[in-house]
Amino acid sequence: MARTIIIEEAGGPEQLKLVDRPVGDPGPGEIRVRHRACGLNFIDVYQRTGLYPLELPHPLGMEAAGEVVAIGAGVDHLKPGDRVAYAAMPPGAYCDERVMPAAQVCPLPDAIDYETAAAVMLQGLTVEYLFHRITELKAGDRVLFHAAAGGVGLIACQWARSEGIELIGTAGTDEKCALAREHGAAHCINYRDADFVAKVKEITDGAGVDVVMDGVGKDTFDGSLDCLRPLGFMISFGNASGPVPPVDLLKLASKGSLKLTRATLFTFLADFDRCQAMARHLFEKVASGAVVPRIGQRFPLEKVDDAHRALEARQTTGSTILTL
Protein backbone atom coordinates (compact mmCIF):
# COMPACT_ATOMS: atom_id res chain seq x y z
CA MET A 1 0.00 0.00 0.00
CA ALA A 2 1.15 3.57 -0.68
CA ARG A 3 -0.15 6.93 0.43
CA THR A 4 -1.62 8.56 -2.66
CA ILE A 5 -3.40 11.86 -3.39
CA ILE A 6 -6.51 11.42 -5.54
CA ILE A 7 -9.50 13.45 -6.68
CA GLU A 8 -12.97 11.90 -6.97
CA GLU A 9 -14.50 14.96 -8.63
CA ALA A 10 -13.16 18.13 -10.22
CA GLY A 11 -13.07 21.29 -8.15
CA GLY A 12 -11.02 23.25 -5.65
CA PRO A 13 -8.10 22.16 -3.44
CA GLU A 14 -10.57 20.63 -0.99
CA GLN A 15 -11.10 17.83 -3.54
CA LEU A 16 -7.57 16.50 -2.91
CA LYS A 17 -7.80 13.38 -0.75
CA LEU A 18 -5.06 11.31 0.86
CA VAL A 19 -5.80 7.58 0.62
CA ASP A 20 -3.92 4.29 0.84
CA ARG A 21 -3.81 2.41 -2.48
CA PRO A 22 -2.28 -0.94 -3.47
CA VAL A 23 0.82 -0.58 -5.64
CA GLY A 24 1.09 -3.93 -7.42
CA ASP A 25 3.82 -5.31 -9.66
CA PRO A 26 5.04 -3.81 -12.95
CA GLY A 27 3.79 -5.34 -16.19
CA PRO A 28 5.51 -5.27 -19.58
CA GLY A 29 7.08 -1.88 -20.25
CA GLU A 30 6.46 -0.70 -16.68
CA ILE A 31 8.47 -0.02 -13.54
CA ARG A 32 7.69 0.23 -9.86
CA VAL A 33 9.28 3.36 -8.39
CA ARG A 34 9.65 4.54 -4.80
CA HIS A 35 9.51 8.32 -4.61
CA ARG A 36 11.78 10.55 -2.53
CA ALA A 37 10.25 13.90 -3.60
CA CYS A 38 7.45 15.04 -5.91
CA GLY A 39 6.98 18.24 -7.91
CA LEU A 40 4.00 20.59 -8.06
CA ASN A 41 2.99 22.27 -11.32
CA PHE A 42 0.14 24.28 -12.83
CA ILE A 43 -0.88 21.30 -14.97
CA ASP A 44 -1.87 19.61 -11.69
CA VAL A 45 -4.27 22.50 -11.04
CA TYR A 46 -5.71 22.25 -14.57
CA GLN A 47 -6.37 18.54 -14.00
CA ARG A 48 -7.84 19.10 -10.54
CA THR A 49 -10.25 21.79 -11.76
CA GLY A 50 -11.31 19.81 -14.84
CA LEU A 51 -9.78 22.19 -17.41
CA TYR A 52 -7.79 19.14 -18.51
CA PRO A 53 -10.36 16.38 -17.80
CA LEU A 54 -9.39 13.08 -16.21
CA GLU A 55 -11.38 9.89 -15.84
CA LEU A 56 -12.34 10.02 -12.16
CA PRO A 57 -11.39 9.00 -9.56
CA HIS A 58 -7.75 9.64 -10.47
CA PRO A 59 -4.42 10.27 -8.72
CA LEU A 60 -2.64 13.54 -9.48
CA GLY A 61 0.96 14.62 -10.00
CA MET A 62 3.19 14.61 -13.06
CA GLU A 63 6.72 14.72 -11.69
CA ALA A 64 8.88 12.95 -9.11
CA ALA A 65 12.28 11.49 -8.32
CA GLY A 66 13.22 8.29 -6.53
CA GLU A 67 14.53 4.74 -7.02
CA VAL A 68 13.43 1.86 -9.20
CA VAL A 69 12.07 -1.01 -7.09
CA ALA A 70 11.23 -3.46 -9.89
CA ILE A 71 10.98 -3.57 -13.67
CA GLY A 72 8.64 -5.35 -16.05
CA ALA A 73 9.48 -7.24 -19.22
CA GLY A 74 10.96 -5.19 -22.03
CA VAL A 75 12.43 -2.42 -19.90
CA ASP A 76 16.07 -2.12 -20.99
CA HIS A 77 17.19 1.37 -19.95
CA LEU A 78 16.56 0.92 -16.20
CA LYS A 79 17.18 -1.68 -13.50
CA PRO A 80 16.20 -2.10 -9.83
CA GLY A 81 18.13 0.28 -7.61
CA ASP A 82 18.61 2.96 -10.29
CA ARG A 83 18.11 6.58 -9.29
CA VAL A 84 15.51 8.10 -11.61
CA ALA A 85 13.38 11.16 -12.27
CA TYR A 86 10.50 11.86 -14.58
CA ALA A 87 7.84 14.19 -15.88
CA ALA A 88 5.37 11.84 -17.47
CA MET A 89 1.84 10.74 -18.18
CA PRO A 90 -0.37 9.41 -16.73
CA PRO A 91 -0.84 11.55 -13.61
CA GLY A 92 -0.11 9.80 -10.32
CA ALA A 93 3.15 11.17 -8.90
CA TYR A 94 1.64 12.44 -5.63
CA CYS A 95 2.39 9.22 -3.76
CA ASP A 96 5.02 7.24 -1.90
CA GLU A 97 5.28 4.51 -4.54
CA ARG A 98 3.65 3.62 -7.86
CA VAL A 99 3.73 1.41 -10.95
CA MET A 100 4.00 3.40 -14.20
CA PRO A 101 5.17 3.24 -17.83
CA ALA A 102 8.97 3.22 -18.00
CA ALA A 103 9.62 4.99 -21.32
CA GLN A 104 9.59 8.55 -19.95
CA VAL A 105 11.43 7.71 -16.73
CA CYS A 106 15.04 8.89 -16.98
CA PRO A 107 18.26 7.78 -15.23
CA LEU A 108 19.28 10.45 -12.72
CA PRO A 109 22.98 11.31 -12.41
CA ASP A 110 24.48 10.92 -8.95
CA ALA A 111 25.45 14.61 -8.97
CA ILE A 112 21.79 15.68 -8.77
CA ASP A 113 19.85 15.10 -5.55
CA TYR A 114 16.24 13.94 -5.43
CA GLU A 115 14.69 17.23 -4.35
CA THR A 116 16.50 19.11 -7.11
CA ALA A 117 15.36 16.54 -9.65
CA ALA A 118 11.76 16.71 -8.48
CA ALA A 119 11.91 20.49 -8.69
CA VAL A 120 13.37 20.63 -12.19
CA MET A 121 12.01 17.83 -14.36
CA LEU A 122 8.72 19.17 -15.69
CA GLN A 123 9.74 22.82 -15.59
CA GLY A 124 13.25 22.21 -16.91
CA LEU A 125 12.08 19.96 -19.73
CA THR A 126 9.54 22.64 -20.60
CA VAL A 127 12.33 25.19 -20.94
CA GLU A 128 14.40 22.72 -22.96
CA TYR A 129 11.68 22.29 -25.57
CA LEU A 130 10.81 26.01 -25.62
CA PHE A 131 14.41 26.94 -26.38
CA HIS A 132 15.43 24.01 -28.59
CA ARG A 133 12.52 22.06 -30.10
CA ILE A 134 10.14 24.65 -31.61
CA THR A 135 12.14 27.39 -33.31
CA GLU A 136 15.84 28.01 -33.73
CA LEU A 137 17.18 30.47 -31.16
CA LYS A 138 20.71 31.85 -31.17
CA ALA A 139 22.88 34.12 -29.07
CA GLY A 140 21.67 37.71 -29.30
CA ASP A 141 18.02 36.86 -29.90
CA ARG A 142 15.43 38.57 -27.72
CA VAL A 143 12.77 36.59 -25.88
CA LEU A 144 9.85 37.86 -23.79
CA PHE A 145 9.02 35.45 -20.98
CA HIS A 146 5.98 35.97 -18.75
CA ALA A 147 5.93 34.93 -15.07
CA ALA A 148 9.72 35.09 -15.04
CA ALA A 149 9.96 34.54 -11.28
CA GLY A 150 7.95 31.32 -11.30
CA GLY A 151 9.40 27.83 -11.44
CA VAL A 152 9.60 27.66 -15.24
CA GLY A 153 10.56 31.33 -15.47
CA LEU A 154 13.60 31.20 -13.20
CA ILE A 155 14.93 28.20 -15.12
CA ALA A 156 14.28 30.04 -18.39
CA CYS A 157 16.20 33.08 -17.12
CA GLN A 158 19.23 30.92 -16.34
CA TRP A 159 18.94 28.94 -19.57
CA ALA A 160 18.82 32.14 -21.63
CA ARG A 161 21.86 33.56 -19.85
CA SER A 162 23.81 30.35 -20.46
CA GLU A 163 23.18 30.65 -24.21
CA GLY A 164 23.60 34.39 -24.69
CA ILE A 165 19.89 35.06 -25.27
CA GLU A 166 18.47 38.39 -24.06
CA LEU A 167 15.46 37.51 -21.93
CA ILE A 168 12.93 40.19 -21.00
CA GLY A 169 10.78 38.94 -18.14
CA THR A 170 7.53 40.06 -16.57
CA ALA A 171 6.47 39.57 -12.95
CA GLY A 172 3.92 40.99 -10.52
CA THR A 173 6.13 42.63 -7.87
CA ASP A 174 9.43 44.48 -7.73
CA GLU A 175 10.81 41.68 -5.54
CA LYS A 176 9.93 39.07 -8.14
CA CYS A 177 11.48 41.23 -10.87
CA ALA A 178 14.69 41.45 -8.85
CA LEU A 179 14.68 37.68 -8.45
CA ALA A 180 14.31 37.18 -12.21
CA ARG A 181 17.22 39.54 -12.90
CA GLU A 182 19.37 37.73 -10.32
CA HIS A 183 18.73 34.51 -12.24
CA GLY A 184 19.71 35.91 -15.63
CA ALA A 185 16.91 38.06 -17.04
CA ALA A 186 18.38 41.03 -18.89
CA HIS A 187 15.30 43.08 -17.99
CA CYS A 188 12.16 42.45 -15.94
CA ILE A 189 8.94 44.46 -16.11
CA ASN A 190 6.54 44.77 -13.17
CA TYR A 191 3.30 44.38 -15.10
CA ARG A 192 1.26 45.84 -12.22
CA ASP A 193 3.13 49.16 -12.44
CA ALA A 194 3.80 49.43 -16.17
CA ASP A 195 2.34 48.54 -19.56
CA PHE A 196 4.54 45.61 -20.52
CA VAL A 197 3.95 46.18 -24.25
CA ALA A 198 5.17 49.76 -24.04
CA LYS A 199 8.16 48.73 -21.93
CA VAL A 200 9.16 45.98 -24.36
CA LYS A 201 9.00 48.47 -27.25
CA GLU A 202 11.14 50.87 -25.21
CA ILE A 203 13.73 48.20 -24.37
CA THR A 204 13.94 47.05 -28.00
CA ASP A 205 13.91 50.57 -29.51
CA GLY A 206 10.57 49.83 -31.10
CA ALA A 207 11.70 46.66 -32.86
CA GLY A 208 9.94 44.06 -30.70
CA VAL A 209 11.20 40.64 -29.66
CA ASP A 210 11.96 37.58 -31.76
CA VAL A 211 9.97 35.14 -29.61
CA VAL A 212 7.35 35.38 -26.86
CA MET A 213 7.01 32.43 -24.46
CA ASP A 214 3.64 32.83 -22.72
CA GLY A 215 2.46 30.43 -20.04
CA VAL A 216 -0.05 32.88 -18.55
CA GLY A 217 -2.69 32.64 -21.26
CA LYS A 218 -5.82 34.79 -21.46
CA ASP A 219 -4.56 37.89 -19.61
CA THR A 220 -1.34 38.37 -21.61
CA PHE A 221 -2.07 36.84 -25.02
CA ASP A 222 -3.04 39.96 -27.01
CA GLY A 223 -0.28 42.05 -25.47
CA SER A 224 2.23 39.32 -26.23
CA LEU A 225 1.38 39.48 -29.93
CA ASP A 226 1.96 43.23 -29.84
CA CYS A 227 5.48 42.67 -28.47
CA LEU A 228 6.65 40.64 -31.46
CA ARG A 229 8.71 41.93 -34.36
CA PRO A 230 7.39 41.20 -37.87
CA LEU A 231 7.73 37.44 -38.57
CA GLY A 232 8.12 36.87 -34.83
CA PHE A 233 7.08 33.65 -33.11
CA MET A 234 4.49 33.41 -30.33
CA ILE A 235 4.71 30.24 -28.22
CA SER A 236 1.67 29.80 -25.98
CA PHE A 237 2.32 26.98 -23.51
CA GLY A 238 0.06 27.51 -20.50
CA ASN A 239 -3.18 28.90 -19.10
CA ALA A 240 -2.35 30.25 -15.63
CA SER A 241 -4.90 33.07 -16.06
CA GLY A 242 -7.37 30.95 -18.04
CA PRO A 243 -7.54 29.56 -21.57
CA VAL A 244 -6.98 31.87 -24.54
CA PRO A 245 -10.21 32.67 -26.45
CA PRO A 246 -10.47 31.71 -30.13
CA VAL A 247 -7.91 33.55 -32.28
CA ASP A 248 -8.66 35.44 -35.50
CA LEU A 249 -5.85 34.36 -37.86
CA LEU A 250 -6.12 37.64 -39.74
CA LYS A 251 -4.78 39.30 -36.60
CA LEU A 252 -1.49 37.47 -37.14
CA ALA A 253 -1.31 38.85 -40.67
CA SER A 254 -2.08 42.43 -39.65
CA LYS A 255 0.55 42.42 -36.92
CA GLY A 256 3.38 41.37 -39.24
CA SER A 257 2.90 37.81 -40.52
CA LEU A 258 3.37 36.41 -37.05
CA LYS A 259 3.76 32.72 -36.25
CA LEU A 260 1.81 31.08 -33.45
CA THR A 261 1.85 27.68 -31.78
CA ARG A 262 0.14 26.19 -28.74
CA ALA A 263 2.67 23.69 -27.47
CA THR A 264 2.61 21.07 -24.74
CA LEU A 265 5.56 19.26 -23.18
CA PHE A 266 4.10 15.78 -23.43
CA THR A 267 3.97 15.87 -27.22
CA PHE A 268 7.76 16.17 -27.18
CA LEU A 269 8.23 13.55 -24.46
CA ALA A 270 6.09 10.96 -26.24
CA ASP A 271 9.07 9.83 -28.33
CA PHE A 272 11.41 7.70 -26.17
CA ASP A 273 14.70 8.80 -27.75
CA ARG A 274 13.77 12.48 -27.76
CA CYS A 275 12.58 12.31 -24.14
CA GLN A 276 15.82 10.74 -22.95
CA ALA A 277 17.90 13.23 -24.98
CA MET A 278 15.98 16.16 -23.52
CA ALA A 279 16.55 14.86 -20.00
CA ARG A 280 20.28 14.40 -20.62
CA HIS A 281 20.49 17.99 -21.93
CA LEU A 282 18.67 19.26 -18.84
CA PHE A 283 20.87 17.25 -16.48
CA GLU A 284 23.97 18.66 -18.20
CA LYS A 285 22.73 22.19 -17.55
CA VAL A 286 22.03 21.38 -13.89
CA ALA A 287 25.26 19.45 -13.27
CA SER A 288 27.33 22.26 -14.81
CA GLY A 289 25.71 24.86 -12.58
CA ALA A 290 24.25 26.78 -15.52
CA VAL A 291 20.77 25.99 -14.17
CA VAL A 292 20.24 25.86 -10.39
CA PRO A 293 16.58 25.19 -9.55
CA ARG A 294 15.26 27.41 -6.77
CA ILE A 295 13.01 25.49 -4.41
CA GLY A 296 10.90 28.27 -2.98
CA GLN A 297 8.41 26.13 -1.05
CA ARG A 298 8.19 22.67 0.51
CA PHE A 299 4.94 21.07 1.66
CA PRO A 300 4.45 17.60 3.16
CA LEU A 301 2.36 15.31 0.96
CA GLU A 302 -0.60 15.52 3.35
CA LYS A 303 -0.64 19.33 2.94
CA VAL A 304 -0.92 19.26 -0.84
CA ASP A 305 -4.16 21.27 -0.66
CA ASP A 306 -2.26 24.17 0.91
CA ALA A 307 0.37 23.87 -1.83
CA HIS A 308 -2.32 24.16 -4.51
CA ARG A 309 -3.83 27.22 -2.82
CA ALA A 310 -0.46 28.97 -2.68
CA LEU A 311 0.28 28.20 -6.33
CA GLU A 312 -3.09 29.45 -7.56
CA ALA A 313 -2.80 32.62 -5.48
CA ARG A 314 0.59 33.33 -7.12
CA GLN A 315 2.18 33.31 -3.69
CA THR A 316 5.03 31.04 -4.78
CA THR A 317 8.43 31.71 -6.31
CA GLY A 318 10.61 29.18 -8.03
CA SER A 319 9.66 25.52 -7.73
CA THR A 320 7.41 23.86 -5.16
CA ILE A 321 8.00 20.29 -4.01
CA LEU A 322 6.09 17.80 -1.90
CA THR A 323 8.14 15.98 0.70
CA LEU A 324 7.50 12.34 1.66
* Spans of all domains in the chain: 2-123+266-323, 135-262
Asked if the domains at 2-123+266-323 and 135-262 fall in one CATH topology, the answer is no
Average pLDDT over residues 302-306: 97
Q: What is the pLDDT of residue 271?
A: 97
Average pLDDT over residues 80-98: 97
pLDDT band at 123 (very low <50, low <70, confident <90, very high): very high
CATH fold for domain 135-262: Rossmann fold (3.40.50)
d(CA 179, CA 121): 21
Q: What is the pLDDT of residue 103?
A: 96
CATH fold for domain 2-123+266-323: Quinone Oxidoreductase; Chain A, domain 1 (3.90.180)
Average pLDDT over residues 69-95: 97
Q: Which pLDDT tens digit goes with each residue over 218-261?
A: 899 999 999 999 999 999 998 878 888 899 999 999 999 999 99
- Is pLDDT of 315 > 90? no
Average pLDDT over residues 117-139: 96
Average pLDDT over residues 167-187: 96
241 or 324, which is more confident: 324
Q: Which pLDDT tens digit goes with each residue over 22-45?
A: 999 999 999 999 999 999 998 999
